[in-house]
Amino acid sequence: MPTNHERVAVALDLLTQGLAPFAEQRLQAVHQDRWTAAASASFRDDRNRLTEDGQGLRWDAHALLTVMWDQWNAAFRTDLGHAERSLVSELREFRNRWAHQKDFDFDDTYRILDSVRRLLAAARSPLLPRIQEQKRDLIESYVAEEVNSQLKQASFRRGRWWVIAIYALCCGAIIYNMIDTGPASLFFVSTVLLVFIYLIYQQYRLDPPVLYGPHECPRCRKIIYRRDCPYCA
């Protein structure tokens, strides 16, 4: 199962592939033959992004979103609205987090995929079905993980009550067979009763285990025995 960081990488790649043709078309319409120079003015590094023939640019998500932000009023505001401009700003922040190897939870990952989907839809990109498929896969994985977790906890709770019931029956059976009128019998009965009360109390307050057996961490791919990976902490 891919990690959230890997899902974000796929989403940014689909954004680049799906939105670059639209961006080039709008830049060419406004700047004509000078569109590559106008776009290159937005680049913050010294990399030469021109293609070998000098007629195009080698795009990545960072370059694409930066150019769209800088050239918004000149080239994009007539086809895209304020909502899309906000998406560009948001995705720039998420892309920077991704580049710095920050973690993404489900909510952030879903938001990124949905923002990419909205931009591709606004640009009428043919890659729209692929990002929709990524969204569905993320939701299915999340729901499956949550359901499995709930089932395991429910199974643990059922098992706990069975143990408590067995303790109670054993306690009752032992006390029943030990009862007589002697003072020693009362002492042993009291001792057994207190021991079983303590065991039942400990079982009742027992938290669900964090150990569900060996499984693969979705981030580092190492085998772990706890819900939280100690290698990724």
5-9, 97-101, 177-181: which has the minimum mean pLDDT? 177-181
- pLDDT, tens digit, 9 for 90 and up, residues 156-214: 677 777 777 877 877 777 777 666 656 666 666 677 777 778 777 777 776 655 545 56
> Under a CB-based contact definition with an 8 Å cutoff, are residues 91 and 15 in contact?
yes
What is the chain's mean pLDDT, rounded? 82
Highest-confidence range of 45-49, 89-93, 147-151, by mean pLDDT? 89-93
CA 3 to chain centre: 7
Q: What is the pTM of this model?
A: 0.67
- pLDDT, tens digit, 9 for 90 and up, residues 133-160: 999 989 888 887 777 767 677 666 777 7
Which residues lie across from 216 on neighbouring strands?
A: 223
